Structure 1
Amino acid sequence: MSVSFVLSSRARSSAALVVAGVLWGTGGLSGALLGQLAGLHPLAVATYRLLLGGVAGLLYVAVTGGLRTPTRAALRRLLVVGGLFAFFQASYFAAVSLSSVSIATMTTIGSSPIVLAVVSAVRSRRVPRPYTLVSLVGSVGGLVLLRWSAEAPHLAGIALAFLAGTGFAVLTLVTAKPVPGLDSMATTAYGCLVGGALLTPVAAYLGMALPLHLDVLFVAAYFGIVPTAAAYAAYFRGLAGAHPVLGALSALLEPLTATILSVAFLHERLSAPALTGAVLLVAALAVGYWRPEPRCPSAAPAAAACRGSRTDAGRR
């Protein structure tokens, strides 16, 4: 495999991760709007997100001729993904109820790449590269500044948010290794349906009545299609050629996009620390996405080994 192909594969994977992060950023606004219009509990909103995203993904799979009986390996993967979807959503919204949206989001999204970096370091028995550490520290620091809240944190809320971040990290690790016959959209569709089904009993108890009004249905459809089905499919697609830590870092584009949308459409004003955090977050993510390749030595055996490591990196 040539170096140019590896770099092209990395570029496509990075682009898919960026798309996923940006699309996720529209989910906060559309999810809040759906909850407001329909009078739904946040957990019911999350349940609708998974169910509608699963239906949208399944329709796409059916139209493109991808419906087929899953293998045992694919079925195991889908059950795990669905369980992680449900665990992640339930833990996150429980954290929100005990703390706040700002603290829960910051802890959840910020802890995920840290967990992945630690796991990767333990697995490989080597310290992460300097560019990874710079991107990691800068991204988390930028997120703290962007979503900083002066309110006192609730320890139980922090713990649940960390569980949510760990669940997202495990989801990233699990889906980073593809299963034959199971593409990114099929993983998203069936995984969302399984996760939504697991959350439905609790959400039904809290109330899931959805008013059949045009504006409610439009927001619900957007919520299920764009920041859920399309975003997670792009994320799983990007993980096929990127390191899991980079995948988790792409999730930090979600609060950045949400902040930009709030400024543009809700006329919110950014404080100086939040503006600094946004700039730092963009710079740190840029380091993670466009870090330079290590130079290969001129000796033939070492150069061949270096090319092989590049190929493996492009596949991660």
Structure 2
Amino acid sequence: MPIVRTTRVSGVSFLVVSGVLWGTGGLLGRMLADTAGLSSFAVATYRLGVGGLLIVGYLRVTGRPLPRRRAAWRRIAVTGALVAVFQAAYFTAVTLTSVSLATLVTIGSSPVLVLLARRRSAGRRQVAGVVLAMLGLAMLVGLPAGHGTTTAGHVLIAAAFAVLAAAGFSVMTLIAERPVPDLDDAATAGLAFTVGGALLVPVTLATSGLSFVPDARSVGLLVALCIVPTAVAYTCYFRGLRTAPAALGALMALLEPLTAAVLAAVLLGERLGGAGIAGALLLGAAVVLAGAGNGTERSRSPAARERCGVASSRRVDVAQRDGQRELAPL
């Protein structure tokens, strides 16, 4: 995989690609679960573990060296733990209530948490984008209907797990803003997901198990799930976060339910309805609004600001050595 220089514009493009590819994950995961008779936990475990190993195998075949620095392996371990928490907490919320509530709280909370962490640098466009996104997501996914077997306590516990999942994804997004030397995007996704999958194995074995009878269809679906919305999508996501702010990355993740809804309507014949269509339009407007504000100074990521600060200080040193009183503009 050749190294691609990422600009602010291409960084947003990578985030858009990742969000769209994530939208295929729900459909592929559902088909895999139905075909192989696997639980949601088992699908998540295979997705992380096999997806990570596929990336690592690709890196080794193409001669890409694995990271050697201790800081790189610390980042890998932290990212792996966070993605495991994200997956485990999300599917726990699903089992306690419903997919709609878990999706609404998890994906809806992520941009809010990132925005709170970056509140000093958040622009009006980002805030407006988050508000539009919350409204659109609620209309698209739908507010969960009450179930006779679901108590208020279960709903509160499920919401807590969904917020925990959102926190795991948000922290992963925030730390990905600052690249680590000797660690590129593919290595981050491959090694971290391998770690995350390994962490989920004991939990899955203790709950639903991992065994299934492999055939051509189930193996094909598993490979597609591990490559498209996992290996490729997350590699693009980490690459995009090198130049785009974390708040924008969390908002672009909202393309996942939007893409999933469109695929369900086209391939499965599911009808969105008036509220769903309006929600999809609001989500699209939120993504466009957030992306349009990415070029402002306030939207610049901490990593980019830090690079500019380093460049500026170097010019100051040069100017002082040369006896100049004024610094040439950057």
> TM-score when scaled to structure 2?
0.84
* 8 Å contact kept, 1:10–1:314: no
Query: Cα distance, 1:272 vs. partner?
Result: 0.8
* 8 Å contact kept, 1:31–1:45: yes
Identify the residue that residue 241 of structure 2 maps to in structure 1: 239
2:124 matches 1:130: yes
**Considering only aligned residues, what root-mean-square deviation do their CA atoms show, in Å?**
2.1
Identify the residue that residue 67 of structure 1 maps to in structure 2: 65
2:141 matches 1:139: no
Identify the residue that residue 312 of structure 2 maps to in structure 1: none
Any residues of structure 2 matched to 1:89-128 within 5 Å, and which?
89-121=87-119, 124=120, 128=122
* 8 Å contact kept, 2:85–2:168: yes
2:43 matches 1:45: yes
In structure 2, C-alpha distance between the alignment counterparts of 1:220 and 1:258, rounded to whole Å = 18
> Secondary structure of the residue that 1:290 maps to in structure 2?
helix
Any residues of structure 2 matched to 1:1-316 within 5 Å, and which?
9-121=7-119, 124=120, 128-152=122-146, 154-205=155-206, 206-291=208-293, 293-294=295-296, 312=305
* 8 Å contact kept, 1:242–1:314: no
In structure 1, C-alpha distance between the alignment counterparts of 2:294 and 2:172, rounded to whole Å = 27
Size of the alignment, in residue pairs?
293
* 8 Å contact kept, 1:241–1:314: no
Residue type of the partner of 1:171? Answer: M
Query: Cα distance, 1:89 vs. partner?
Result: 0.5
Q: Which of 156-165 and 69-78 deviates more?
A: 69-78
Query: Cα distance, 1:150 vs. partner?
Result: 4.2
Change (3 A) 1:292 1:74: closer
> TM-score when scaled to structure 1?
0.88
Identify the residue that residue 298 of structure 1 maps to in structure 2: none
> Structure 1: which 5+ runs fail to align?
1-5, 296-306
In structure 2, C-alpha distance between the alignment counterparts of 1:82 and 1:50, rounded to whole Å = 9
Identify the residue that residue 324 of structure 2 maps to in structure 1: none
* 8 Å contact kept, 1:9–1:314: no
* 8 Å contact kept, 2:243–2:304: no
> Secondary structure of the residue that 2:159 maps to in structure 1?
helix
Residue type of the partner of 1:32? Answer: R
Query: Cα distance, 1:94 vs. partner?
Result: 0.3
Structure exhibiting the larger radius of gyration computed from Cα positions: 2
* 8 Å contact kept, 1:53–1:228: yes
Question: Could you tell me the percent identity over the aligned residues?
Answer: 43
Query: Cα distance, 1:226 vs. partner?
Result: 0.7
In structure 1, C-alpha distance between the alignment counterparts of 2:160 and 2:242, rounded to whole Å = 30
* 8 Å contact kept, 1:131–1:288: yes
